Structure 1
Amino acid sequence: MTSPILTVENLSVAFNVGDDRWREIVNGISFNLHEKETVAIVGESGSGKSVSALAAMRLLPEDSAKVSGSVRLADRELLTLDNEPMRRIRGNEIAMIFQEPMTSLNPVFTIGFQLVEAIRLHRTISRSDARAEARRLLEKVRISDADKRLNDYPHEFSGGMRQRVMIAMAIAGSPKVLIADEPTTALDVTIQAEILDLVRTLQDEEGLAVLFITHDMGVVAQIADRTLVMYQGNIVEQGSTDQIFRRAEHPYTRALLSAVPRLGESAGHDRPMRFPEVDVSTGKTDEPKEGSDTVDHNRTVLEVFDLTTRYPITSGIFNRVSSNVHAVEKVSFDLKAGETLALVGESGCGKSTTGRSILRLTRPTSGSIIVNGNDVATLGSRGLREARRDMQMIFQDPFASLNPRRSLGDAIKEPLYAHGLKKGSSDRVADLLVRVGLTPDMAKRYPHELSGGQRQRVCIARALALEPKLIVADEPVAALDASIKAKVVNLMLDLQESLQLAYLFISHDMGVVERISHRVAVMYLGEIVEIGPRRAVFANPQHPYTKRLLSAVPEADPSARGKQRNLSPNKELKSPFRAVDYQPPLRAYRTVSEGHRVQEWGSEWID
């Protein structure tokens, strides 16, 4: 075998915790990376995997982090290199993709400006040529209408699209080594599958070596040649990916693998299925259990009819409307007490806009949203305030949802105070914290003092404060580790059973959707193309797009890596931009079985 392109030996990282005390986070890890090879580092949050990558890139603050050991790129030692030559190496020879693209993109500059600057930083090239290259890179990472989107700002992109921009920026300098820190966590399964295919293509074409940091074992099975398992700052197991998946020896590795949701595990069950709880110290799991029959078919909590939400796009010196983004187009469904309807689809399909429109966080263009007999779409400010007592939202990023300067107790009290319910609020906070599996004393803590899973539990407690009947959960477990994800999903099922909650569960994680939902609605370009009982949709998908979503789910099995995936029809996601006078076509639906309906499709879906 050729010499490794990246060699890490005895790498240790310690952080200053005050009073000249240092806490070691990474404890002398060693590994290497060869040309065209993908090495995955897996482990839960806090295991030290991201810190190891940042240390290798020399991106940790020198005054508060102490790094020792050796990191060599070919024959150059990076840890002792001067700052200027190290700066030239970053982006040119080693590039990094971070997990949260919104913190990596500057909100005041357009996507095109930032891409052009990244390209010109590493190449001697004119601005016009750099812009042409930026357009090519956007097309390569599958962003439609690249010419138009270069003029957009980061907030105008969905989370998945922003991550694709970051991947385009990372490959702009044609690096030898790509460090990808949870790059597909926020992406839906079809985009994730295509990004993984893109990484493999880049490896073949340019000899790219990839260090892939993730907690998604399904992704590891599909892309990694070798796998390193980290736990509490140590590499506890390493070997070929096939060996790790088939003959894992360490209890923690076995625990990680057992927490991975696999499609088909809920086959034969009509009700949601609880995740098995995992003991990471022993690797033991309990038996998965079917949830209780919580659906009250006689009590409808939410009725949505012909919901349409469009965003006007203005241009010119007079800011005239030149086009519209058709985010949601004539969406209709209902939701019963104690029922979970999962809304699934790719980034930009309109599923989050649907949730925000229902809560009137975004004003819908037309349609009706009936909650407890009131049409939320037409309510005034006072009526809307009262209606929101019955409907709450859980957002994807719990850290961004909590004010870092306010204690957790104050965060949970906030909706109570907003509705004049101050009396007994402290007791209510203590009760809510216990209900979501935390302790009352945590009310005095601040968001940064909790793990990601604990912060999401606090957000769930806050959503429950006003005893709502409907909760819109927008990707509530997308950024969580597998074992933490399982616990949060089980918590939501327990709360649904005890409180008869109705969930609109927005997600791109089909493994989680199969476990938590009673019914599934599949969205494409703002429209529901298929809807029905979860068992029917997963066992007998009808629409080509539904089949494509299911086939794109990464299997936690390295032997399935070469499996042909149904990604060919409509590879390019169509643009939601439409002319001002555009009239959407009337859609026809046919009934497949009881409650299972599918939109008729045209020749564009024929491969």
Structure 2
Amino acid sequence: MEKQEFVASETESVLSVRNLTTSFRIGSQWRSVVRDMNFDIAPRETVAIVGESGSGKSVTSLSVMRLLPENSSRIEGSVKLAGRELLDLDREAMRQVRGNDISMIFQEPMTSLNPIFPIGKQIAEAILCHRNVSAAEAKDEVLRLLDKVRIPNAKNRFDEYPHQFSGGMRQRVMIAMALASRPKLLIADEPTTALDVTIQGQILDLIKQLQDEEGMAVLFITHDMGVVAEISDRTIVMFRGEAVETGTTDDIFNRGRHPYTRALLSAVPKLGSMGGRERPMRFPVIDIASGETVVPETEAGGVEESARPVLEVKNLTTRFDIRSGLFGRKSGAVHAVENVSFDLRPGETLALVGESGCGKSTTGRSITRLVEPSGGEISVDGYQVGQLGAAELRRMRRTIQMVFQDPFASLDPRMSVGEAVMEPFIEHKLGSKNEARDKAADLLERVGLGADMMPRYPHEFSGGQRQRIAIARSLMLDPKIIVADEAVSALDVSIKAQVCNLLLDLQQSFNLAYLFISHDMAVVERVSHRVAVMYLGEIVEIGPRQAVFDNPQHPYTKKLMAAVPVPDPARRNLKRNLNTEEIKSPIRPVGFVPPQRQYRQVGEGHLVQA
């Protein structure tokens, strides 16, 4: 079937939404989750819908695309694409609209791509389904699109599979697929949330560039206010299914009136806002109902310089063997962590930063021996970790605990929250069940939950609450060190601010040392005392937070900072022109000997790889 062209003049809207209300059937009742949405998007315009999880952003976009299940959802109002009412179309007509005139990019590219087909074939399928072209013409068009989305060596990568691409490159493939039919409207649903900061910067630049070239309208859905400031012309703020404020992005950021808008903006860490401050700073918290500041921005605790380190790491190396062939002979190794050294004092936060695959998480897991290191020395509160037997290792782990990125995956869905928090205390035989219950209740109160929540199960809590539960559980053994592995990365902006404040409060109360693993440079600047930047398994720069952020020396550190979205609408037309190369592979052949690295000192405690 030939593509039908819907032509919109420069003065009329590509998309016009009026009184959009979406309801879901719950039992015998209909419950509205999006109410009375009204907005327009003009050609070459970007409109952002911003709000936290559950605010109705994604349901709005799925309603426009009519991708919600017909038997359990009801869409009312009007959705017009270039003057044509989409809610009145039959299934086949709507299917033609979806591929031809509206395209959508989803948050997680790996679940959107079929793992058993080469990426070239998947993009070609999108073209062949909607355009009357030959297979050869479709292949030529795919190569053109792959070049357009800046995938290097597109011709050779046509026959590669999704697992052979990095996260950023997979998202580029999804954008190429979305552009295959030259849509009038591109809906981007959290397209950069799961990506590293440098890859996120590249994708934002790419969407801006393609919009200029193709003349598309873009509906951009996100909870990241920094991204909104850089990409959108107008912004719609959603809260509990309704648009509470709409306006130009400049107005929303500089003259936002609704308390929820101000609460969202106050929770956004702004890179460079810590200039001149040595200690971490708590986030201000604004009450959504009243608009009043309930937690002011305050300075957190410092570090006693004379204190003996509670964690010392010297020349830590962790490698994973690669075996291949009929007999499984070793053919190489992943050099995940290579010759890493640092120490950590009581009450101090050392942030490990870098992109996915740089070795941050492997470093944290090696220190706790959840992953077996290949070499080096680790001292945890006097324990020589590499020499410990099973019983001693168990005792050592009372001193060092981990908080993982996904709290739902780290909590047993069959155990109540009370049982989950009590379990470490009982397993280590530190007291009776009643003592465990009392301590768990006290810790849940400390992390902002109530003891009355102990009988509930993990699925009954929000993501932010589950992360608080995981933090309470990590404190049950009175640890001296907590390894926080991307502990706030998956959280909404206001929840992230609350959990960061909680971590700072607990650090002051218990004199905890944190190894804070993250790729979010703006959060790291806010909460850390020292920063170590990792690249390909090595620390390339380490020093006091203020020194590293105010005076970055290594090119990779500068690249990370240049990629951070800044919540300032004045930067909306900025093109960062970031390098689109993928991060190099840490795989090395058998017998590879890493070069000896030299470090130069550029300030007190500030070292940079030469």
Cα deviation digits, residues 136-157 of structure 1 (max 9, x gap): 8499466899969976775x88
- From 183, 198, 211, the equivalent of 2:219 is 211
- From 244, 250, 268, the equivalent of 1:242 is 250
- Work out whether 1:52 is the aligned partner of 2:60: yes
> Counterpart in 1 of 2:606?
596
8 Å Cα contact 1:135/1:147 also seen in 2: no
- Work out whether 1:349 is the aligned partner of 2:349: no
Residue identity opposite 1:262 in structure 2: K
8 Å Cα contact 1:116/1:134 also seen in 2: no
Deviation at 1:165, TM superposition (A): 5.7
Question: Structure 2 vs 1, CA of residues 233 and 442 (structure 1 numbering), >3 Å: closer, same or farther?
Answer: same
CA distance in structure 1 between the aligned counterparts of 2:415 and 2:537, rounded to whole angstroms: 37
Deviation at 1:340, TM superposition (A): 0.4
CA distance in structure 1 between the aligned counterparts of 2:429 and 2:419, rounded to whole angstroms: 14
Question: Structure 2 vs 1, CA of residues 150 and 487 (structure 1 numbering), >3 Å: closer, same or farther?
Answer: farther
- Work out whether 1:451 is the aligned partner of 2:498: no
- From 548, 551, 554, the equivalent of 1:540 is 551
Cα deviation digits, residues 420-473 of structure 1 (max 9, x gap): 456233222212211100111222222332222112111111222222221111
- What are the equivalent positions in structure 2 for 1:20-169 lying under 5 Å apart? 20-101=28-109, 103-104=111-112, 109=115, 113=118, 116-123=121-128, 133=142, 137=146, 140=149, 166-167=174-175
Question: Structure 2 vs 1, CA of residues 495 and 592 (structure 1 numbering), >3 Å: closer, same or farther?
Answer: same
Deviation at 1:119, TM superposition (A): 3.7
- Work out whether 1:530 is the aligned partner of 2:541: yes
> Counterpart in 2 of 1:603?
none
Deviation at 1:542, TM superposition (A): 1.1
Residue identity opposite 2:509 in structure 1: S
CA distance in structure 2 between the aligned counterparts of 1:383 and 1:164, rounded to whole angstroms: 48
8 Å Cα contact 2:426/2:433 also seen in 1: no
- Work out whether 1:338 is the aligned partner of 2:343: no
CA distance in structure 2 between the aligned counterparts of 1:208 and 1:232, rounded to whole angstroms: 29
CA distance in structure 2 between the aligned counterparts of 1:516 and 1:370, rounded to whole angstroms: 24
What secondary structure sits across from 1:472 in the alignment?
A: strand
> Counterpart in 1 of 2:563?
552
Question: Structure 2 vs 1, CA of residues 501 and 163 (structure 1 numbering), >3 Å: closer, same or farther?
Answer: farther
Cα deviation digits, residues 253-280 of structure 1 (max 9, x gap): 2222222211222222211111111122
Question: Structure 2 vs 1, CA of residues 210 and 379 (structure 1 numbering), >3 Å: closer, same or farther?
Answer: farther
Cα deviation digits, residues 287-340 of structure 1 (max 9, x gap): 311112254642322111222222333444444443333222111111111110
CA distance in structure 2 between the aligned counterparts of 1:165 and 1:232, rounded to whole angstroms: 33
Question: Structure 2 vs 1, CA of residues 368 and 41 (structure 1 numbering), >3 Å: closer, same or farther?
Answer: same
CA distance in structure 2 between the aligned counterparts of 1:117 and 1:387, rounded to whole angstroms: 50
- What are the equivalent positions in structure 2 for 1:565-576 lying under 5 Å apart? 565=576, 567=578, 571-576=581-586
Residue identity opposite 2:56 in structure 1: G
Residue identity opposite 2:230 in structure 1: Q
Deviation at 1:564, TM superposition (A): 6.1
CA distance in structure 1 between the aligned counterparts of 2:492 and 2:570, rounded to whole angstroms: 24
What secondary structure sits across from 1:299 in the alignment?
A: coil
- From 460, 481, 484, the equivalent of 1:473 is 484
373-382 or 446-455: bigger deviation:
373-382
> Counterpart in 1 of 2:263?
255
CA distance in structure 1 between the aligned counterparts of 2:204 and 2:276, rounded to whole angstroms: 31
Question: Structure 2 vs 1, CA of residues 434 and 218 (structure 1 numbering), >3 Å: closer, same or farther?
Answer: same
Question: Structure 2 vs 1, CA of residues 138 and 473 (structure 1 numbering), >3 Å: closer, same or farther?
Answer: farther
Cα deviation digits, residues 170-214 of structure 1 (max 9, x gap): 455554432222222222322211110011122122223221111
Question: Structure 2 vs 1, CA of residues 538 and 362 (structure 1 numbering), >3 Å: closer, same or farther?
Answer: same
8 Å Cα contact 1:119/1:173 also seen in 2: no
Cα deviation digits, residues 222-259 of structure 1 (max 9, x gap): 00011111122111211221222222222222222222
Question: Structure 2 vs 1, CA of residues 503 and 406 (structure 1 numbering), >3 Å: closer, same or farther?
Answer: same
CA distance in structure 1 between the aligned counterparts of 2:82 and 2:492, rounded to whole angstroms: 33
8 Å Cα contact 1:310/1:328 also seen in 2: yes
8 Å Cα contact 1:275/1:289 also seen in 2: yes
Unaligned 5+ segments in structure 2 are 1-9
- From 332, 336, 349, the equivalent of 1:327 is 336
- Work out whether 1:271 is the aligned partner of 2:284: no
Unaligned 5+ segments in structure 1 are 601-607
> Counterpart in 2 of 1:413?
422
What secondary structure sits across from 2:53 in the alignment?
A: coil
8 Å Cα contact 1:135/1:146 also seen in 2: no
CA distance in structure 2 between the aligned counterparts of 1:235 and 1:17, rounded to whole angstroms: 23
Deviation at 1:562, TM superposition (A): 3.9
- From 465, 473, 479, the equivalent of 1:462 is 473
Deviation at 1:92, TM superposition (A): 4.6
- What are the equivalent positions in structure 2 for 1:425-444 lying under 5 Å apart? 425-444=436-455
257-266 or 296-305: bigger deviation:
296-305
State which structure, 1 or 2, has the greater radius of gyration over its C-alpha atoms. Answer: 2
8 Å Cα contact 2:237/2:245 also seen in 1: yes
> Counterpart in 2 of 1:604?
none
240-249 or 145-154: bigger deviation:
145-154
CA distance in structure 2 between the aligned counterparts of 1:25 and 1:177, rounded to whole angstroms: 24
Residue identity opposite 1:432 in structure 2: L
TM-score, normalised relative to structure 1: 0.89
8 Å Cα contact 2:143/2:154 also seen in 1: no
> Counterpart in 2 of 1:580?
590
- From 486, 489, 497, the equivalent of 1:486 is 497
CA distance in structure 1 between the aligned counterparts of 2:82 and 2:166, rounded to whole angstroms: 38
Residue identity opposite 2:301 in structure 1: S
- Work out whether 1:309 is the aligned partner of 2:318: yes
- From 20, 24, 49, the equivalent of 1:15 is 24
Question: Structure 2 vs 1, CA of residues 545 and 252 (structure 1 numbering), >3 Å: closer, same or farther?
Answer: same
> Counterpart in 1 of 2:14?
5
Deviation at 1:98, TM superposition (A): 2.9
CA distance in structure 2 between the aligned counterparts of 1:353 and 1:127, rounded to whole angstroms: 45
- What are the equivalent positions in structure 2 for 1:160-199 lying under 5 Å apart? 166-167=174-175, 170-171=178-179, 174-199=182-207
What secondary structure sits across from 2:211 in the alignment?
A: helix
What secondary structure sits across from 1:45 in the alignment?
A: coil
- Work out whether 1:366 is the aligned partner of 2:371: no
Q: Tell me the number of residue pairs that the alignment of Structure 1 and Structure 2 aligns.
A: 594
- Work out whether 1:385 is the aligned partner of 2:394: yes
8 Å Cα contact 1:144/1:573 also seen in 2: no
CA distance in structure 1 between the aligned counterparts of 2:158 and 2:394, rounded to whole angstroms: 36
113-122 or 476-485: bigger deviation:
113-122
Deviation at 1:500, TM superposition (A): 1.3
Deviation at 1:73, TM superposition (A): 2.8
What secondary structure sits across from 1:458 in the alignment?
A: helix
